[in-house]
Amino acid sequence: MKYLSIFIIFAFIIVSGVYSETDIPTDETPELVPLTDGNTQLDANITRTAEVYTDLMWAAYCSTRERITREPRTAKSKDAYDTLIEKLEFNNEFSEVLPKSELSFIYAQRAELRLKEWQYPAGAEEDARTSLDLNPESVNAAWILGKTLADRYISSNTTRNKNKEEEMFTALKRVIKLDPDHHDAHIYLGSIAGDLGRPELAITSFKALTRIMPFRPQYHNELGKLYERQNQPDEALNSYERVLTISPDSINAHYSVGIAYQIKNNFEKAEYHIKRAVELLEERVKTSRIARMRSRDRIVLAQRLQEARYQLGQVYLRFNAPQKAVSNFEDILSDDGKYIPALIGIGIAYHMLDDVQRAENYLRKAIESSPTEEPDAYNALGYLYAEQGIKLEEAETLVRRALKSVPTSGAYLDSLGLIYFKQGKLDAAIENLEQAARYLPDELEILEHLADAYLKKGLEQKALQTLEHAVQLEPDNTELRQKLGTIRLSK
């Protein structure tokens, strides 16, 4: 078989020559120059090998020509590959002259064309499996099989099928085992695993992508989202900050980093990054008025700006900066006076500033302006009345309406418990506050309300235990420490 390498080299010379032709012939098969050897007579096997490679060159030439000239998919290359493989399958004399790796290559080539060019996934899968049977190390065949199974699974509108799902994941993981740097396989595996609730598998693939292409910010961003879903804020923050290192003006990254710092209780950094996201969006909005941006895109951009401004207001509420929150929500309402979340937010901010009248006005406006039930508005207004010790019957009605929408809300149950406490209904107050603490066990405000109810009921030991837990959560809270000290002295 010493002439086999000569035929392979000759094949590449012919095909590369075809690529460089300016005027591509339409009908003629490229003329092949016969090989001669003065010392060796070509035997029958070498003759058959030459015939197979001639057919393969013709098939490769046709598929290349069709890509250049954009001829129909069902053109000569399909016929050429079909004829070649039919010859190999039905005449052992031809298939036996080629090693399995070469036969595998031929099937993989047709599988790729069947998938990409001829839109025949069933045939592509069949050829890919045949190719892998002949050569289990074929990366191309493994990828075609994995992609075919994945595309079919994604496009099916049926309910999840565990067997098909595992088959798809196994095929994609096989590609990565053969080629750990296979970019496309990692994208498929990571994206599908994330969508199907397999976060660990998705994280592994996107971590690989950040290694393979470290300067692609989108992979760090996707990795950050996955860490967020897994409640791993430090890892998420690290991924988002990598995005900012690569792309300092990434709006999404600034926003995500701001949210991450909000979770970590870092006010300054949370404020900085979300403000930066707002500034970048404002610049985009100004540019969109000059550029020829589609109206739909301008609407989406305006919505993103509104949401970012609202999130900044939430940061100010969370970190007890109500005056900044008022200013921020006023900016939102100057553009859209009926934006319900901003009406609720500014009402809560005025409540924090002890401006009861304005707080009530904005919260009532939120309720009246909303076409649907707004449980947060009902709860905020009911809580306002409860804290002031006024309109307690109306407050109970408002909070119960909120709980009807979200029965398991710890915040709403806390409001109802406080209302009962103010009404002197201590058993009902304790029942609701204990339930609120089960849903939000680390919320200081709920723990304080529960401790007050225990004390009022004469349950000093329970009040002591509740306040001790609260002090553990916030050791530097002077007010909590004083209250705890008072109870200890009274025992």
Buried b (16+ CB within 10 A) or exposed e, 4-38: beebeebbeebbeebeeeeeeeeeeeeeeeeeeee
CA dist 33 → 25, 50, 57, 337, 468 (Å)? 18, 12, 13, 81, 93
Tell me the Ramachandran region of residue 416: left when phi exceeds 0, alpha when psi lies from -120 to 50, beta otherwise. alpha
**Structural tokens at position 229:** 């879903």
Rg (CA), the chain: 35
Closest by CA to 175, choosing from 187, 163, 164, is 187
From first to last of its 491 residues, what are the pLDDT tens digits of the chain? 433 343 443 344 334 443 344 444 445 555 555 555 544 445 666 777 777 778 778 877 877 766 666 665 456 788 888 888 888 888 776 667 678 898 899 899 999 989 988 888 999 999 999 999 999 999 999 999 999 999 999 888 667 788 999 999 999 999 999 999 999 999 999 999 999 999 999 999 999 999 999 999 999 999 999 999 999 999 999 999 999 999 999 999 999 999 999 988 899 999 999 999 999 999 998 887 666 677 888 889 999 999 999 999 999 999 999 999 999 999 999 999 999 999 999 999 999 999 999 999 999 999 999 888 899 999 999 999 999 999 999 999 999 999 999 999 999 999 999 999 999 999 999 999 999 999 999 999 999 999 999 999 999 999 999 999 998 988 888 888 888 888 777 76
Residue-level length of the chain: 491
